[in-house]
Amino acid sequence: MTAFLRGAFSRLRGKKRPALAAAATFLLALPAVAADIPLPDRRSGYEFMGPDTRAMQDDDTQNPATLAVLEGEALWARKAGAAGRACADCHGDARESMKGAAARYPRFDDAGAGPIDLEGRIMQCRARRQEAPPLARESRELLALSAFVARQSRGLPVADAVAADARLAPFLERGRALFRRRQGQIALSCAQCHDDNWGKSLAGNAIPQAHPTGYPLYRLEWQSVGSLQRRLRNCMIGMRAEPYAYGAPEYLDLALYLAWRARGMAMEAPAVRP
Amino acid sequence: MRSRGMTRRGMLMAGLAALPAGAALTVIVRPAAATPEAMQEAIRRITGGAPLRRGRVRLEIPPLSENGNSVACAVAVDSPMTAADHVKAIHVVTEKNPQPNVIGVHLGPRAGRARIATRLRLSDTQTVTAIAALSDGSFWAESANVIVTMGACLEDAL
Amino acid sequence: MTAQALIHFPKKARRGEVIEIRTMISHPMETGFRRTQQGEPIPRNIITAFACRYNDVEVFRADLFPAMTANPFLSFHTVAAESGTLTFTWTGDDGFRVEERAKIEVG
């Protein structure tokens, strides 16, 4: 049995900014069970972009996220907090010490007894090791530091964190369930677009497979660098679902599942996306 | 945080529930923004009323843009860039943005090559025009139409 | 907000060679056309001018308008005339001013 979906509409009223919550004209046939994308068929969102956007990502002198990476590099060397420590004081040259680090996140955090993402780890180090005031999620400094650290993993394969640490298994299952759960006003799941209909056109752009290989990234829509959590919030708003608060465990479970789903694919951070 | 640089087209959909499966009605509402007259006025300010000639200017801009917030654009002008014969200025204007001007660059023989590249914001599908002012007082232009699409799954709710 | 500018050009060039200079600077380029969700206009805040001086001679100048993307990127060319200093200046609304210098070796 198939069902047909219709996107929600948005309305331009006077000078109020319009919002397009979902495409106005697309139809989806919904299979009964979502199936994983076969591993050899996985493609990065990079491959769904036009040549100009790809050129922006490929060239550090054109990639706006490079500004964030440079800022992160400066922050890495700067002493902070009551402990008067810089990241570099413990971690040395990031090009060495952080190589491959971002590719292993999310990973298990003993302190929280659950998955932690790269931003969360940086926030943790900042609080505990540097004894500095907290960095808020999506703050300029946190994005700069995570862009700088993630940049050191560019080209390296996303690790299978769950195979490396079985404690993550139940969180992976929660993430998988979230990805497949129908939610929001149009009862849509992530899987229905990103597993079952990737490559098809939605509101004029191709639906990507939703791999997190490029985060943090410069989204043309934002005109700034943003994290995976910010993008997931956009997804949920687009699906007409209530987004979780930043740092919510649901995002971590989802991020873990997305990273697992992208295991073996090359890291691209910081990427550019439309 | 708001993401759009300027007002964008909205979409209206009527009769959500009433339409039969497979049919969708969309009406695109253009924001009350710049008019073609505003663009013509901007061009007049650039040329002082002199005629725009077609040729010598190459406007490199994609015919389809994934996001109007950032559209790559390059303008190259065929010129020896000598003291006697060079490009003095390159201007880019649009017809439907809230304001017609995008950028105006001033060059001279020291440029060596009359080529610039930058990134624009386009509020809607529209024509972009690049104008070159030459040292002999002539003006040359090329236009291109860019279709601007907008992604799904954005930051702002209704 | 600390301004971050990225400037890219060959540090060494042959005399008379035409080189490409790429610049990018961190700036929101707030157009002045947007409104908050409450309907309040967000004031314009853009870079309005950029200039490149080559040993204190202006070789390139640009007037920027709100239709330039955030974090404006600009590529242009100049003749590698002599060794010296290239000075890049961005100015804009709210007293925005960033100046960066870089050396070029021309042989």
Residues A53 and A112 in one domain: no
User: What's the rounded Cα separation, in Å, for the pair B43 and B48?
Assistant: 8
pLDDT of residue A22: 45
- The answer to whether A223 contacts chain C (CB < 8 Å) is yes
Q: Is residue A18 part of a domain?
A: no
Q: What is the 3-state secondary structure (H, E, C) of A76-125?
A: HHCCECCCCECHHHHHCCHHHHCCCCHHHCCEEECCCCEEECHHHHHHHH
pLDDT of residue B34: 62
Question: With bands split at pLDDT 50, 70 and 90, how would you rate the model's confidence at B28?
Answer: very low
| Tens digits of residue pLDDT in C39-70 | 899 999 999 999 999 999 999 999 999 999 99
- With a pLDDT cut of 70, the percent of chain A lying above it is 88
A125 contacts: CB under 8 Å, gap ≥ 6: A87
Residues A197 and A255 in one domain: yes
pLDDT of residue A202: 85
Whole-number average pLDDT of chain C: 95
The distance of B109 to chain C (nearest Cα, Å) reads 9
Q: What is the average pLDDT across A171-196? A: 96
Domain total in chain A: 2
Domains and CATH numbers, chain C: 5-106 (2.60.40.10)
**Could you give the C-alpha distances from A209 to A261, B7, B30, B71, B144, in angstroms and in order?**
10, 29, 32, 24, 32
Out of B5, B26, B154, the one facing A238 most closely (by C-beta) is B154
Q: Is residue A27 part of a domain?
A: no
pLDDT of residue B37: 87
Q: Is residue B153 part of a domain?
A: no
The residue of chain A with its CA nearest to that of B7 is A17
pLDDT of residue A9: 35
- The answer to whether A13 contacts chain C (CB < 8 Å) is no
Domain total in chain B: 1
Out of C26, C35, C71, the one facing A17 most closely (by C-beta) is C35
Whole-number average pLDDT of chain B: 82
User: What's the rounded Cα separation, in Å, for the pair B97 and B122?
Assistant: 6
Subunits close to A (at least 3 CB pairs below 8 A):
B, C
Out of B31, B70, B154, the one facing A20 most closely (by C-beta) is B154
Residues A54 and A77 in one domain: no
Q: Is residue A35 part of a domain?
A: no
Q: Is residue B140 part of a domain?
A: yes
Closest alpha carbon to A144 in A213, A232, A227, A54: A227
A128, A151, A174: which is the final residue of a domain?
A: A151
pLDDT of residue A191: 96
Question: With bands split at pLDDT 50, 70 and 90, how would you rate the model's confidence at A3?
Answer: very low
Return the sign of the alpha-carbon dihedral for residues A269, B1, B6, B7.
Answer: positive
Q: Which of A1, A9, A54 to mutate to test the interface with B (most CBs of B within 10 A)?
A: A9
Out of A15, A25, A49, the one facing B24 most closely (by C-beta) is A25
- The answer to whether A32 contacts chain B (CB < 8 Å) is no
Closest alpha carbon to B122 in A204, C67, A219, A19: C67
Residues A169 and A186 in one domain: yes
Whole-number average pLDDT of chain A: 88
In eight-state DSSP terms, residue B66 is: S
Contact C73 A15 (CB under 8 A): no
Contact C77 B108 (CB under 8 A): no
Chain B contact set for A136 (CB, 8 A):
none
Residues A173 and A255 in one domain: yes
**Tokens, residue A210:** 């939703």
Q: Is residue B142 part of a domain?
A: yes
Subunits close to B (at least 3 CB pairs below 8 A):
A, C
Claim: this prediction has a pTM higher than 0.95: no
User: What's the rounded Cα separation, in Å, for the pair A198 and C35?
Assistant: 34
**Touching B: C residues 57-76, CB under 8 Å:** 57, 59-70, 72-76
What CATH number did the domain enclosing B135 receive? 2.60.40.2470
Q: Is residue A28 part of a domain?
A: no
What CATH number did the domain enclosing A182 receive? 1.10.760.10
A151, A181, A209: which is the final residue of a domain?
A: A151
Return the sign of the alpha-carbon dihedral for residues A115, A121, A123, A129.
Answer: positive
Residue found under tokens 């200025």: B89
The residue of chain A with its CA nearest to that of C7 is A61
Q: Between A89 and B155, name the one with better pLDDT.
A: A89
Chain A contact set for B157 (CB, 8 A):
19, 21, 237
Domain range enclosing B102:
33-148
Q: Which of A223, A225, A237, A272 to mutate to test the interface with C (most CBs of C within 10 A)?
A: A223
Asked if pLDDT for residue A7 goes beyond 80, the answer is: no
B82 contacts: CB under 8 Å, gap ≥ 6: B109
The residue of chain A with its CA nearest to that of C74 is A62
Chain B contact set for A5 (CB, 8 A):
none
Using 70 as the pLDDT threshold, list the residues of chain C that sit under it: 1-3
Contact A62 C34 (CB under 8 A): no
Residue type at A35 in one-letter notation:
A
| Tens digits of residue pLDDT in A140-168 | 999 999 999 999 999 999 999 999 999 99
Indicate which residues of A carry an active-site annotation.
Answer: 235
pLDDT of residue B87: 98
User: Does ipTM come in above 0.85?
Assistant: yes
Domain range enclosing A96:
65-151
Q: What is the average pLDDT across A238-266? A: 94
- With a pLDDT cut of 90, the percent of chain B lying above it is 69
pLDDT of residue A265: 98
Helix/strand/coil for B88: strand
Q: Is residue A39 part of a domain?
A: no
How many Cβ atoms sit within 10 Å of the Cβ of residue A95? 10
Q: What is the average pLDDT across B41-53? A: 96
Q: Is residue B156 part of a domain?
A: no
CA B39 from centre of chain: 11
Out of A17, A66, A140, the one facing C6 most closely (by C-beta) is A66
Q: Which of B6, B65, B123 to mutate to test the interface with C (most CBs of C within 10 A)?
A: B6
pLDDT of residue B152: 67
| Tens digits of residue pLDDT in B67-109 | 999 999 999 999 999 999 999 999 999 999 999 999 999 999 9
pLDDT of residue C2: 54
